[in-house]
């Protein structure tokens, strides 16, 4: 089992969800996050005072998949989330030791 965590542009969420749905992946956790990478921030101005905003809003999508689906899943997310401009985000892949479905008590691949 593998956890895939993708930090993407907020505007790309729908496309990423569609791409995952096409692979049959329906379960996911989505959070609004802020962060910074290579993308520079932006400037906001309030009554003439400038503020440099370095942490930008992003969306974090977390999905857990069986190991054989990892490559396809990563490919689907990266294609759907790509705009080609700086600030498209990153995908992190983690091995998981176990998954438990709370309702049934199932473990491992059965719970994914």
Partner 1 sequence: MKSRLRAVLMFILYSLMLPGIAWAGDTPTIDTGDTAFVIISAAMVMIMTPGLALFYGGMVRKKNVLSTMMLSFIVMSVVSVIWALYGYTLAFGPDIKSFIGGLDYLFLNGVGQEPASGTIPHVLFMAFQLMFALITVAIISGSIAERVRFSAFLAFIIIWVSVVYSPLAHWVWGGGWLMKLGTLDFAGGTVVHISSGVTGLVAALVIGKRKGYGTEPMVPHNLPMTVLGAALLWFGWFGFNAGSALAANGLAASAFAVTHIAAAAGGLSWVIAEWLHHGKPTILGCVSGLIAGLVAITPAAGFVSAVPAIVIGLVVGPLCYFAVAVIKSKLGYDDSLDAFGIHGVGGTWGAIATGLFASKAVNEAGADGLFYGNAGLLVNQLIGVGATILFAALATFIILKLISTFMNLRVSSDDEVVGLDISLHGENAYAYTDDLVGSITKEVKAPAEAAGTMVKTV
d(CA 93, CA 112): 16
Cβ atoms of 65 and 4 closer than 8 Å: yes
Using the rule CB under 8 A, is 51 a contact of partner 1? yes
Identify the residue among 26, 38, 47, 103 touching partner 1 (CB under 8 A): 47
Using the rule CB under 8 A, is 50 a contact of partner 1? yes
Stretch that binds partner 1, among 27-35, 44-52, 73-81, 86-94 (CB under 8 A): 44-52
For 99-109, letters b (16+ CB in 10 Å) and e give: beeeeeeeeee
Residue 16 to residues 7, 54, 84, 110, Cα–Cα distance (Å):
11, 25, 15, 24
Nearest distance, CB of residue 35 and partner 1, angstroms: 16
Using the rule CB under 8 A, is 46 a contact of partner 1? yes
Stretch that binds partner 1, among 24-32, 46-54, 60-68, 69-77 (CB under 8 A): 46-54
* Interacting residue ranges for partner 1, rule: CB under 8 A: 44-53
């Amino acid at each position: 089992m593998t956890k895939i965590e993708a930090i993407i542009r907020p505007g790309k969420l729908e496309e990423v969800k569609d791409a995952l749905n096409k692979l049959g992946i329906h379960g996911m956790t989505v959070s609004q996050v802020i962060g910074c990478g290579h993308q520079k921030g932006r400037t906001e101005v309030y009554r003439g005072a400038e503020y440099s905003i370095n942490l930008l809003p992003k969306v974090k999508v977390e999905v857990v998949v069986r190991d054989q689906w990892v490559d396809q899943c990563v490919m689907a997310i990266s294609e759907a989330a790509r705009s080609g401009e700086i600030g498209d985000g990153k995908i992190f892949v983690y091995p998981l030791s176990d998954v438990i479905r709370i309702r049934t008590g199932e473990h491992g691949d059965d719970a994914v």
